[in-house]
Amino acid sequence: MKRIAPLLLASLALLAAGCGSSNDTNTTPSAPASGNGPKVDMKNIAFDPKTTTVKVGQTVTWTNRDDIPHTVVCAGKFRSKTMDTDGTFSFTFAAPGEYKYFCSLHPHMTGMVKVE
């Protein structure tokens, strides 16, 4: 029982953090930036461009150009780690739709990816 408790606690912590959520079936996190898809900069505490249009299967890469940390969060779909200056996050969109996202550290920072 003593060995099982730490494993159970670790598993519960991962579930609480949203790992393995069954709601993430429309999109797939990607590997590090490939350089082939559209790019969004985080600068002056804003996403630039604010709206990006892509085709199904394309990868968008966000890069932090500010000297303060940022994140990229689309509720129930994807969430980056906190990125320092020049940090990047990439995500491949597998289904059409409009994906609204924001920075969890600066909630007024919003953007959208339109997938056709």
Contact (CB, 8 A) for 52 and 115: no
Q: Is residue 18 part of a domain?
A: no
Question: Quick one: pLDDT at residue 9?
Answer: 36
Indicate which CATH number applies to the domain containing 49.
2.60.40.420
Contact (CB, 8 A) for 75 and 107: no
This prediction has a pTM of 0.71
Question: Quick one: pLDDT at residue 54?
Answer: 97
Q: Is residue 3 part of a domain?
A: no
Q: Is residue 7 part of a domain?
A: no
Q: What is the overall mean pLDDT for the chain?
A: 79
Contact (CB, 8 A) for 81 and 89: yes
For 61-111, write each residue's pLDDT tens digit: 999 999 999 999 999 999 999 999 999 999 999 999 999 999 999 999 999
d(Cα 77, Cα 86) in Å, to the nearest integer? 23
Q: Is residue 8 part of a domain?
A: no
Q: Is residue 15 part of a domain?
A: no
Q: Is residue 4 part of a domain?
A: no
Q: Is residue 111 part of a domain?
A: yes
Structural domain that includes position 60: 23-115
Higher pLDDT, 22 or 32: 32
Q: Is residue 2 part of a domain?
A: no
Higher pLDDT, 17 or 51: 51
Question: Quick one: pLDDT at residue 36?
Answer: 73
Domain total of the chain: 1
Percent of the chain residues topping a pLDDT of 90 = 68
The DSSP H or E segment spanning 41 is: strand 39-43
Instruction: Indicate the pLDDT class of residue 27, thresholds 50, 70 and 90.
Output: very low
